[in-house]
Amino acid sequence: MVAFTPLFICGVCVSLLAAALYVLKVFKQSALNLPPGPFPLPVIGNLHLLDIRRQDKSLMKISEKYGPVFTVHLGLQKVVVLTGYEAVKDALLNTADVFADRPAIPIFHHIQHGNGVFFSSQELWKTTRRFTVATMRDLGMGKRLGEERMLEELHFLIELIKSFKGGPLPLRFLNMAPTNITFAILFGRRFDYEDPTFLTLLRLIDEVMHLLGSPFLHLFNFYPFLGFLLKPHKMILKKVEEVCVILKKCIKESKENMNENNLMSYIDALVFKQEEQKKSNTVFHDANVLASALDLLMAGTETTSTTLQWAILLLLKYPEIQEKVHAEIKRVLGPECLPTFEDRKNMPFTNAVIHEVQRFVSLLPHVPRCTSADTHFKGYFIPKGTTVIPLLTSVLLDTTQWETPDEFNPNHFLDADGNFIKKKAFLPFSAGNDSVRSCTGHRVPSVLGRYHPGGRVRASGTGTHGGMV
């Protein structure tokens, strides 16, 4: 006969009580008319239903049963997920104020402590966002000055490609040009491709982005109290600190050499704003200045670089599309002319291919939101402070908006006469306030990870003979 000790019996009772309270909590949520969803298990919630590396696809699968608005439990956190164009559009455009706040994602909170452009909230975010948008415009983004920076950098990229003399070219080398354009905006000058600071920043950014996609990093975001057992977030914080050392040096140099009548960079503008409003105790304190520069450095170098790599790989996979792009560029630009923004009007197929690359690869699965007030949405009640995931992947693959959503098909952006057409469901970087957060045209780090194309490609120009080696 087995003898049960009082301690064992007490433990069983506590466990049963905890389970009962958990069940009561779930039923209470049902009574409030919250969005439906799979029944959560204790501690892990619905994590057993997710592919940790492609959570977006797992969430789309769950939506097939529970509809476009549903609840999942990511560990101990309750999250409302929005899928499909209509639900995401209604949240981000029609009721944007309610879904405008940001949840505290552990890894980004540890990095930024609530500061910066992307993961701050409320008045701090609004003020920093307005400043960043205005500064980017003043620095030439979307204007001729921005075009001149790109054409200058294109010259150096062409020379780099030529240096391989038709041999294998690592795809990561293509990152140098778009990254340098971002650096020029941030620091006021471009870097030589061999510059030690440039190479150090490239390495650190790439390492941090890889770590952000680690399954163990997701585990840390789900259960931050287990951080002492996990390694990736510690490595991220260490590498980010190395980046911050470089940024602090740049900020110090800007303070020493800044000419308020000739602000040359985003960091110059940040420092000037800080000095201008120093006595009024504004949001432009040292921590927010550093965090804002870090945001644009880390996030602003990633999207364009990775999109460019995917474009190369997809054109290699579909040589007939590559041929049409090549023919259009040759017809419009000729053998010597460099492209301008105005040339896009005369290159509808190339423009369609670029848009289709962004739609097809879904680089940014979602940008998390948080409700700023109690709200009723699509017939359901969502309490204030609830984390909301507008699933952008589901919009870019919505079968009601795209003829062949799972195929790489530039015709998604062309009419019957071959003219380029805009699609409302083209939301690669979110919409509403998030389109302002992505004002540089670059990617915000995603808590769902990232998808690297990887590999090497022959530097064989625009012909169809390039291949993976």
Structure tokens at 104: 């505290």
Residue carrying the six token digits 């476009």: 68
Q: How far apart are CA 159 and CA 344, in angstroms?
A: 24
Other beta carbons less than 10 A from residue 416's beta carbon: 6
Structure tokens at 160: 């780099």
Structure tokens at 150: 């790109």
Strand partners, 72: 79
Is residue 45 helix, strand or coil? Answer: strand
DSSP 296: H
DSSP 467: -
Upper half-sphere CA count for residue 102 (Cβ side, 13 Å): 27
**Cα angle at 288 between 242 and 74, to 5 degrees?**
80
Structure tokens at 315: 């054109």
Asked whether the beta carbons of 177 and 364 are under 8 A apart, the reply is no
Phi, psi torsion values for 106, nearest 5 degrees: -50, -50
Length of the chain: 469
Phi, psi torsion values for 51, nearest 5 degrees: -80, 110
Q: How far apart are CA 378 and CA 68, in angstroms?
A: 9
Other beta carbons less than 10 A from residue 390's beta carbon: 26
Asked whether the beta carbons of 76 and 202 are under 8 A apart, the reply is no
What sign results for the dihedral spanned by CA atoms 309, 311, 312, 314? Answer: positive
Write the CB contacts of 170 (distance below 8 Å, at least 6 apart in sequence): 456
The H or E element that residue 457 is part of is strand 456-458
Whether residue 337 is annotated as binding a ligand: the answer is no
Binding residues: 439
Binding residues for heme: 439
